[in-house]
Amino acid sequence: MPPSTKSRLLAIELWGLGDLVIGTQFFLAAAKKFDVTVLAKPYAKELQPLLWPEVKVIPFSAPWTAFKEKYHVHRWPWLEMLRLTRILRGARFDVGLSARWDPRDHFLLALAGAKKRFGFPRLGSQILLTDSLIRPDPGAHRYENWRSLGQAVGLELPLREHIRVPRALSSKTREILVHTGAAQPVRVWPLENYQKLVGRLRQKQYRVQIICDPGQRDWWLRQGELAVAAPNTITQLLALVNHAGAFIGNDSGPGHLAASAGVPTFTLFGPQVPEWFVPLHPAAQWTEGKACPYKPCFDYCRFAEPLCLTGWTEPEVWARVEAFVSKVGQGMANS
């Protein structure tokens, strides 16, 4: 096969699964014009054949994305980072970009030696970029950052409301996937509430598959939920998603993955702003976290528990979930 004549583009997204999935429309559009490489956490290697088969992936777990001890610089994997720099420079990228206003990303773009470097500057990081872009409205969905980058490199990405998602693979319109986990505890609605919610769904004759984080599995088993699943890989998670007609869960990556597979989602938000991170599905619905003077506080909370999330009672959430599953079920049955 002759070498590609396309310009080489490096896209950096080093944070969560949901952040990476939000970039899907950009990666797909860019692959038509560029030879695209994505620098992301190792699970991007699993996502690549499923979501962006024409994109290359370089796995890297940036130490500053860890939840704890991220700034213990003496513990950073300096040898690995040196090897990464050599790999990036050896690729001779024509274009590099990041959808985050993060100077660390911009430093990596400069280390990579990308000829053109696009990004949203912060704290003087414009000196590391060749093309500084104006950040979209701070209240806009994170997808808008990718749209702005697309325009900067000659790509037209659809408006958020015009994104076309595949039809969900499952024809089991009354099967619902309930995911009770999240990357951080402040994003987890109490399991006791989820148990009551699942009971109500089953009383309505919906089939419910519970999936959870590995650390939650024993709790569900003690409640007699013997079929609970705790997937360890993206492939295992997507196999479960593809058997669902709807998805209910916390503000976490699996919801974004479900939306990308065409499954309508209902998200329980807490400390985060829904307008930034609602899964990209036209039928997506959500609850916004209760009022708190410190929102958004991302993955840290000043209180003993995230009252913005735990303040939602199960009856309050059920009223919204019942309307969601009823509407989704009717829509799929008639499609």
Q: Confidence class of residue 324 from pLDDT cuts 50, 70 and 90?
A: very high
Where residue 3 falls among pLDDT bands split at 50, 70, 90?
low
Residues 146 and 183 both lie in one domain: no
Higher-pLDDT residue of 331, 217: 217
The candidate with the shortest Cα–Cα distance to 17, out of 52, 46, 53, 43, is 43
Least confident segment among 28-37, 80-89, 172-181: 172-181
In a domain, 88, yes or no: yes
Q: What is the dihedral of CA 295, 300, 304, 307, to 10 degrees?
A: 30
* Domain-located, residue 217: yes
Same domain, 22 and 138: yes
For residues 270 and 127, membership in a common domain is answered with no
Report the pLDDT value the prediction gives residue 167, as an integer from 0 to 100: 74
| Nearest residue to 92 via CA among 153, 33, 152, 7 | 7
Mark residue 113 as left, alpha or beta (left: phi above 0; alpha: psi -120 to 50; beta: remaining): left
pTM of full prediction above 0.85: yes
Statement to judge: residues 145 and 218 lie in one domain: no
Q: Which residues of 66-78 are buried (b: 16+ CB within 10 A; e: fewer)?
A: eeeeeeeeeeeee
Shared domain check, 137 and 57: yes
Do 290 and 272 contact (CB within 8 A), yes or no? no
CA distance 238 to 18: 14
Q: Does residue 168 belong to any structural domain of this protein?
A: no
Residues linked to residue 286 through DSSP beta bridges, in sequence order: 267
pLDDT at 64: 79
Are both 135 and 276 inside the same structural domain?
no
pLDDT band at 173 (very low <50, low <70, confident <90, very high): low
- The residue out of 129, 162, 195 marking a domain boundary is 162
Does residue 25 fall inside a structural domain? yes
Interval 280-311: pLDDT, tens: 999 999 999 999 988 888 777 888 899 999 99
Q: Which of 162, 185, 213 is the last residue of a domain?
A: 162
On whether residue 109 sits in a domain, the answer given is yes
Residue 170 lies in a domain: no
Host domain of residue 36 = 7-162
Which tokens hold the place of 78? 């300096």
Percent of the chain whose predicted confidence (pLDDT) is above 90 = 77
Q: Which two tokens stand for residue 55?
A: 């994109």
Tally of CA atoms within 13 A in the half-sphere of 265 that contains its CB = 28
pLDDT over threshold 90, residue 71: no
Q: How many domains does the structure of the chain reveal?
A: 2
Question: Are residues 237 and 330 located together in one domain of the fold?
Answer: yes
Give mean pLDDT, residues 258-271. 95
Both 123 and 57 in one domain: the answer is: yes
Does residue 1 lie within any of the structural domains?
A: no
Shared domain for 266 and 312, answered yes or no, is yes
Q: Are residues 52 and 112 in the same domain?
A: yes
* Alpha carbon distances (Å) from 256 to 1, 263, 281: 35, 9, 9
76 confidence band (pLDDT: 50, 70, 90)? confident
CATH number at residue 13: 3.40.50.2000
Q: Identify the domain boundary among 105, 133, 162.
A: 162
Is residue 335 pLDDT above 60, yes or no?
no
Q: Is residue 225 part of a domain?
A: yes
Q: Which of 42, 117, 55, 144 is nearest to 84 (CA)?
A: 42
* Same domain as 130, residue 43: yes
Same domain, 204 and 242: yes
